[in-house]
Amino acid sequence: MTHLTTKLGGADSGTARSTEPTGPIPAIPARASRTAGPSVPRRPRLRTPLEPRRSIPLTLVTGVVLLYTLLPLVWLVINATKDQNSLFSSFGLWFGDDFDLWSNISRTLTYDDGVFLRWLLNTLLYVVVGAGGATFLAVLGGYALAKFQFPGRRAVFAVVLGAVAVPGTALAVPTFLMFSNMGLTNTPWAVIIPSLISPFGLYLMWVFATESVPTELIEAARIDGAGELRIFFRIALPLLVPGTVTVLLFSMVATWNSYFLPLIMIKDPDWYPLTLGLGAWNAQAQTAGGEAVFDLIITGSLLTIAPIVLVFLLLQRYWQSGLAAGSVKE
C-alpha cells in the first residue's frame, strides 16, 4: 500500500501519508464491539390464560376434587344396573352378574301405578312455571334497574343485597303461615309462587345488564323512534342471553332439587315432586319388608339427575359464547 500511494501522489509523495495501517489488523473480540454496561436480567416468560403455568400440587388437588365429585355419580350408575340381590351381595363400585338397568327403569316407571311419572310431571310443572317465571322476572327487573334512573334505586339495591344474604329456609315457616291463611297450602301454587322470587338472579342480571347492554345503543334506538318494549325484546334481550341462561340454570337446579319447601307445603302424594317422592320411598325402605324398593330408589335417583345433566350439556355453549364475547376488548 505504501508503494501504491507514492506512485499516485507524484510530487506530493513526500508529504502524503497513508492513513491505513501497514501491518496486519488484529482481530477484535466480538464482545469488545458492544457498548459496555450493566447486564440486564432476563425477564421471565409471561403466561397467558391459554398457556397457564404448570403446578403439580394444584393438579393433584383438582384431581382429588374431581374424583370426590364423580365418585357418587359412578356409584349410582353402577348400582342402577344391579338387581335386588346383587345390590347387597356385590361390590359397590363394580357391576353385578347381570345388567338389569332397563328392567330397573321399567319397574321404576310402572311401580305403584306409575306414581314416579306423576312426580316427574309435577317437578316439570314446578320448574317450567316457577324457574321460568323467576328467570323472566329477573331479566326484566335487572334490565330496568341497570338502564333506568328512578327515585329509590339505591334503596332497591340494598333490599336486593339483603335478600340475597337471607337463606331460603329462614323464610319457609313465615311463607307457610302466609299461604295457610290464604288457603293455598297443599296446592301447586304453594311451591310455584315462592319459586318466582330469585334475589340472586335479579342481582346477577342487574350486574350483567349494566355491562353487556351499551347505553348508547339504547339511546340510538330511542332516537330512531323505537319503544321501550321493542328496545328490550329486539336489542337488549339478545345481548342478555348468556346471563339469562345462567339465571335459568340456577333457578332450574334450585327448583328441581327443592325439598324443604314442598315438604312443609305439600301433603298430598299426588302433588309430590321427585325429591319428596324418593324420600317417601326411602322411608318405606326403612320399614320391615320395605327393602324391596332399594333398587327403585337408586334407579329413580339416576333418572332424577339425568335431565339436569342433559340441560347443562345443552346450554353450556351459551356460557362459552358469553365468556368469549366478554373477553374481547375494543
- 316: domain CATH number? 1.10.3720.10
Q: What pLDDT does residue 22 have? A: 53
Q: What pLDDT does residue 230 have? A: 93
Q: What pLDDT does residue 46 have? A: 55
Q: What pLDDT does residue 143 have? A: 95
Q: Is residue 276 part of a domain?
A: yes
Give the chain's domain count.
Answer: 1
Q: What pLDDT does residue 93 have? A: 80
Q: Is residue 52 part of a domain?
A: no
Which segments in the chain show pLDDT lower than 50?
1-20, 28-34, 36, 323-330
Q: What pLDDT does residue 288 have? A: 60
Q: What pLDDT does residue 195 have? A: 92
Q: Is residue 17 part of a domain?
A: no
Q: Which residues contact 235 (CB under 8 A, 6 or more apart)?
A: 213, 217, 218, 221, 226
Query: For residue 101, how many other CB atoms are within 10 A of its CB?
Result: 16
Q: What pLDDT does residue 222 have? A: 93
Q: What pLDDT does residue 131 have? A: 94
Q: Is residue 177 part of a domain?
A: yes
Q: What pLDDT does residue 165 have? A: 85
Q: Is residue 67 part of a domain?
A: no
Q: What is the pLDDT of residues 212-255, one digit of tens each?
A: 999 999 999 999 999 999 999 999 999 999 899 989 999 999 99
Q: What pLDDT does residue 48 have? A: 58
Q: Is residue 138 part of a domain?
A: yes
Give the domain extent around 278. Answer: 79-325
Q: Is residue 132 part of a domain?
A: yes
Q: Is residue 9 part of a domain?
A: no
Residue 100 burial (10 A CB sphere; 0-12, 13-18, 19+): buried
* DSSP per-residue string spanning 85-139: HHHHHS-TTS--SS--HHHHHHHHHHTTTTHHHHHHHHHHHIIIIIIHHHHHHHH
